[in-house]
Structure 1
Amino acid sequence: MARTVGVVSPFSPVPPPPGRQRRIDAWWAARHALRRLPYWLLTRAAVVLAMCTALYLVNGSLIGWVSAYEVLLGIRTPAAASPQWCAWLLSVAGWVAIPAFVGGTVGYLITAQIQAHHARDLDAVLAELRTLSRPPAHAANGLWERPAISLHDL
């Protein structure tokens, strides 16, 4: 049977929808289209949070969940825990990694807000002020009278 190229028959089979793995791959490839903060949270911050969560889970199973929580917050010293090696790692994560993560995120959000309010360049603002300070072209002999502004105009 001869195949024709480029001819679509109404009876031709429809390709199946993409599978789950293909959809996940497409979603992960589309992460570059995100803005900076969601991209950072999805890529870099997820690694830090996953490591802190893994440390907490390991410590919770070894020294107990309440003790792990207290070591993480700095309420209890890691020297009082029975396997100290994992308690010290959790303590360092609680004192360094988590505050750095929160501070970095809040700092980025504040910086983004400040930059959104300072979107205009200083040269553009000065050029606009210069054009506003020039007399209009219809002024006679270079003399220009400012129009009187009444309270009703405001």
Structure 2
Amino acid sequence: MSIAPTPPSGGPPPPGRRHRLRARWADRHALPQFGYWLVSRGAIALAVCGALYLLNGFLIGWANAYDVMAGITSPSVVRPQWCAWLLALTGWAAIPAIIGAAAGYVITEQIQAHHARELSDVLDELRRLAEHPGPPSSGSGS
């Protein structure tokens, strides 16, 4: 007696991890404006700043790297200076620019969300709310 092979299940096999990641990366354009910026350009800028901080942490020490990036210590005081100057410029210019860009995107999204309604719709709703309600219901609670 022979056993018949089981028929293949219907449909294609589930997509692999690589295919799912590629599909998510392609869907990044569907994100809100801030989400898209954070995934595309913000992540790159933060990665560069983080890499500079790590490099300086290993070369000049973690406390010195923080002090140079925050502007507490001059980059001319530490050795090697070449990476400390890059970190100081990043802390002085790039970090505030990244924070300002993020805040600008969030504020812009909030403003656009509140301007999404037409003036006539708002006025109609205000008129409807301003109408006097009918007499109270005559049902007694006891």
Which bin holds the TM-score, normalised by the shorter protein? 0.7 to 0.9
Higher Rg of the two aligned structures: 1
Determine the structure 2 residue equivalent to 1:141.
none
Partner of residue 113 from structure 2, selected from 104, 116, 124: 116
Structure with the larger RCO, 1 or 2 (CA within 8 Å, 6+ apart): 2
Answering whether residue 63 of structure 2 is matched by residue 73 of structure 1, we say: no
Determine the structure 2 residue equivalent to 1:41.
38
- Structure 2 distance, partners of 1:118, 1:19, is 42
Task: Please list the CA deviations of residues 79-115 of structure 1 after superposition, one character each: whole Å capped at 9, or x if unmatched.
Answer: 0111111001000110111101101111221122122
Give the C-alpha shift of residue 34 in structure 1: 1.1
| Unaligned runs of at least 5 residues, structure 1 | 1-9, 133-148
- Structure 2 distance, partners of 1:110, 1:32, is 20
Determine the structure 2 residue equivalent to 1:3.
none
Answering whether residue 4 of structure 2 is matched by residue 11 of structure 1, we say: no
Sequence identity percentage: 54
RMSD: 2.7
Task: Please list the CA deviations of residues 47-95 of structure 1 after superposition, one character each: whole Å capped at 9, or x if unmatched.
Answer: 0000000000000010001100110111101001111110010001101
- Structure 1 distance, partners of 2:24, 2:101, is 26
Answering whether residue 29 of structure 2 is matched by residue 29 of structure 1, we say: no
Q: Which moved more, 1:47-56 or 1:10-19?
A: 10-19
Moved runs in structure 1, 4+ residues, more than 3 A?
Answer: 13-16
- TM-score normalized by the length of structure 1: 0.69
| Unaligned runs of at least 5 residues, structure 2 | 1-5, 136-142
Paired residue type of 1:82? R
* Residue pair 2:28, 2:36 contacting (<8 A) in 1 also: yes
Partner of residue 87 from structure 1, selected from 61, 84, 92: 84
Partner secondary structure for residue 75 of structure 1: coil
- TM-score normalized by the length of structure 2: 0.74
Determine the structure 2 residue equivalent to 1:137.
none
The number of residue pairs the alignment matches comes to 123
